[in-house]
Amino acid sequence: PRYFALIPAAGVGARMEATSPKQYLKIGGKPMLRHTLDAFLSSELIAHTFVVVSPDDPYIDAVAPHHGVTVLRCGGASRMESVRNGLAVLASTLSRADWVLVHDAARPGLTAELIEKLITGTGDHPAGGLLALPVVDTVKRCIDGEAAGTVPRNGLWLAQTPQMFRYELLREALAAATDPDSITDDASAVEALGLSPKLVEGHPRNLKVTLPDDIRIAEMYLAVSQP
């Protein structure tokens, strides 16, 4: 089988409160998105990597390597639309049975080892698979600022990316999804079809950089070797 990476990187990163989109903020002197792309370039299992940016993105040409990465300027208004647009552009490049690993640009701590773990752990699962972490904290339901109940954490996992699916299934799932804002990852669109993707245990270093302090946490993980 062939494995392709698709990285939605068309967000503005409003929660980061920075002047450039967060995927271009530097982590250890290197743009976050470059770390993310390098993880896929360092994996021998990935045939090619595609990155989806906004049509008017002024930064990508200085960041994307010339070999192994293709820039698709088809970002949409939501993450889901960016992925959907990217998949549509690839219709003549990918075949139905090819696997697509969708990965957030904002997760720069990914490693070739984690990519391989996901691919091996998912195997030929008909619903695909994703990296995720079991919840370690006690989970509260908040109503009006008060703890209105405790949700048993047993059986709860936090979704990470990459999330991998056969090209045909992912296109079908995202075409069927109607509310882009309620689809915050690709697996949820596949689950909405009644399918259950495989959960493969990820690693905390694969955090999503969202808030300003997350940059330092990502730098700490990138300074230590692979999981």
User: What single-letter DSSP state applies at residue 58?
Assistant: S
**In the window 180-199, what residues touch ligand C5P (CB under 6 A)?**
none
Residue carrying the six token digits 């998105």 = 33
User: Which residue is associated with the tokens 């271009």?
Assistant: 24
Establish if 77 lies at the interface with ligand C5P (CB under 6 A). Answer: yes
- 10 near ligand C5P, rule: CB under 6 A: yes
Amino acid at 206: N
Instruction: Kindly identify the residues of this chain, within the stretch 86-115, that bind ligand C5P according to CB under 6 A.
Output: 104-106
How far, in Å, CA of 20 to CA of 205, rounded? 23
Vertex 121: Cα angle to 75 and 171 (nearest 5): 30
Size of the site for ligand C5P (CB under 6 A): 17
Contact pattern for ligand C5P over residues 29 through 58, marking x by CB under 6 A: -----------------------x------
Binding region for ligand C5P (CB under 6 A) out of 3-11, 63-71, 133-141, 197-205: 3-11
CB of 21 to ligand C5P, least distance (A): 7
Instruction: Give the Cβ contact number of residue 45 at 10 Å.
Output: 17
b/e per residue 112-151 (b: at least 16 CB within 10 A): bebbebbbebbeebebbbbbbbeeeeeeeeeeeeeeeeee
**Residue 160 interacts with ligand C5P (CB under 6 A): yes or no:** no
- Nearer to ligand C5P among residue 52 and residue 189 (C-beta): 52
Q: Segment contacting ligand C5P (CB under 6 A): 7-15, 142-150, 152-160, 199-207? A: 7-15
What's the closest the beta carbon of residue 69 comes to ligand C5P, in angstroms? 15
Neighbouring-strand partners of residue 48: 4
